[in-house]
Amino acid sequence: MRDKRVLVTGAGGFIGSHLARVLNESDNFVRAVDKKWDDYIAQPYSSERLTLDLRAGLNCAAVTKDVDYVFNFAANMGGIGFITETGADVMYDNALINLHMARACIENDVERLFFSSSACVYPTYKQQDPQVTPLNEHDAYPAKPDSFYGWEKLYTELALAAFSADYGLNVRIARFHNIYGPEGTYEGGREKSPAALCRKVAAASDPGTIEIWGDGLQTRSYCYSMTALQASSP
């Protein structure tokens, strides 16, 4: 994709920062937006960088002006520890962001909206056996996510389907699962399991023990993310 005007929300986070760099290197105008910029993530290479809270509808309306594509990664989220302990703030914050963003895309005639969903939408009853069968998109129903975060993601998928049906909003959705790689969150409660395990091992005494959640029989899927710029670095 080249020569497009692109908005990346959540560009101060892990996936958003990687995407902003790739799109910028592909000769696109990239507007990077986040409410904060973590110092352990290199600043996204972009044409424009804005610090805004996208829970506010006026901010969503402002950042979607004059762009072709929107990649919406802005969210209140974290690792399993965070999303199982935090419910109301996750659902409230993310619903505001996603609904305001959908409305703003319609009002500003955005060509296409991408929404970052999650494998947390899948029901618990499909994931009890360690020898789990790989899930398909239709396996999300009958719905029974194991967290408020999963319910919020599933709700937003349905809301965007409604916006598409009623207003013609062109939507794309991907359900990510355990994205990890360079510059991912390493500690503080919002890190994913690969970073948490590595941190625990690195910090353990020799000999020593570490705490692993669950019964040790779980199976997990992971997706590695690294930009070409990082891959070429020493």
Burial class (CB in 10 A: 0-12, 13-18, 19+), 110: buried
35: three-class secondary structure by DSSP = coil
Burial of 60 (0-12, 13-18, 19+ CB in 10 A): buried
The SS3 call for residue 33 is strand
Question: pLDDT by residue (tens digit) across 107-140?
Answer: 999 999 999 999 889 998 988 887 778 888 999 9
Neighbour-count burial of 14, counting CB atoms closer than 10 A to its CB (0-12 exposed, 13-18 middle, 19+ buried) = buried
Domain 5-180+223-231 has CATH 3.30.70.1380: no
Choice among 122, 149, 155, 180 that is catalytic: 149
- The tens digit of pLDDT for each residue in 41-81 reads 776 678 899 999 999 999 999 999 999 999 999 998 876 77
Range in 154-168, 170-184, 207-221 with the lowest mean pLDDT:
207-221
What integer pLDDT is reported at residue 72 of this predicted model?
Answer: 98
Most confident of 24-38, 134-148, 156-170: 156-170
Domain boundaries, the chain: 5-180+223-231
Dist CA 45 CA 30 (whole Å): 8
d(CA 96, CA 17): 22
Looking at residue 216, the DSSP 8-state letter turns out to be: S
Catalytic, 149? Answer: yes
3-state secondary structure of 11: coil
